[in-house]
Amino acid sequence: MLLEWSFAIFSGLTLGMAAFLVAAGLTLVFGILKILNFAHGTFFMLGAYVTYSILGTESASMAAFLLATLAAGVVVGGAGWATDLVIFRRLRDSDYHYTLIATFALLLLITGLVKIIWGLDFRLVRPPEVLETTWFIGGIFIPAYSVFVIAAGIVVFLILDFGLQRSWIGKTVQSVARDPWMAEVLGINNRVVMTAAVVVSFMLAGIAGGLLLPNQSLSPALGDVFLLLAFTAVIIGGLGNVRGAFIASILLGLIESVSTVLLPDLPGISIFVALIVFILVRPQGIFSGAQ
């Protein structure tokens, strides 16, 4: 019983960090452009497919895996640049409904492209050799790959948090997020900052796709699963709040894994219940939304 629980907590942490890897870019773009990108999960999926195309299904070396992931980040980041140029920039001053619907349309478009290019089949990709081992610690099996995912989540969080809170880049970005007009007056090029934010957000999605590719069943539906998880994390953490998203992701991972122990017959529903409850009870998130 105890073992079952400690395993649940561990796998919850893994899921939570995976969710954060996707949520990070989502919340970043919302924080700065006030755009909720429905297509974010789809670009995450695209990143996973790109990595898969480079690596194949067999175990690769760690270096190849990381390089392929980076390549996915660059490809998806490029898609982000195009998206900003064609969609976000044109719709910046229009009603937010239209931006939402536009990203929704993008979700469909990219899903369709992925289906045409890679087909509908499920694929299973093995992790790099180094991460294929499993450790037996304190009576539970701990896959090295899970530890890697947790570590990756923490590293991405630390980089983002440091970048946003401490560096001059972060201060520039935050001033644009708070008051674009004032920032413009102070001589900051809003356009560049916003485009950069979109590109970074998409890159994060692509990298997350690469990092989380192993041990997933890769299919065009992969994006949906993670999108809703990430949405929930972003809402619970407070829209636009990276720290909030980090803590909320951990919380969500734990909720999900605990509920698989308690309610094995209803897989996946606890996340939605958490999402709905949070929107209704505390729409501003666990922190008051200010970043």
Given the rule CB under 8 A, which residues bind other proteins? 36, 86-87, 90-91, 94, 96-98, 100-102, 104-116, 119-120, 220, 228, 231, 235, 239, 265-266, 268-269, 272-273, 275-276, 279-281, 283
Least distance (Å) between residue 272 CB and other proteins:
5
Least distance (Å) between residue 276 CB and other proteins:
6
Give the three-state DSSP class for 146: helix
Amino acid, single-letter form, for residue 260: T
The CA distance from 242 to 83, in Å, is: 22
Comparing CB distances to other proteins, the nearer of 207 and 274 is 274
Give the three-state DSSP class for 163: helix
Least distance (Å) between residue 177 CB and other proteins:
16
The CA distance from 10 to 3, in Å, is: 10
Least distance (Å) between residue 15 CB and other proteins:
17
Give the three-state DSSP class for 203: helix
Indicate the length of the chain as a whole number: 291
Comparing CB distances to other proteins, the nearer of 129 and 179 is 179
- Tokens 């900003």, located at residue: 84
Least distance (Å) between residue 149 CB and other proteins:
25
Amino acid, single-letter form, for residue 85: L
152, 143, 155, 150: which is closest to 65 by C-alpha? 152
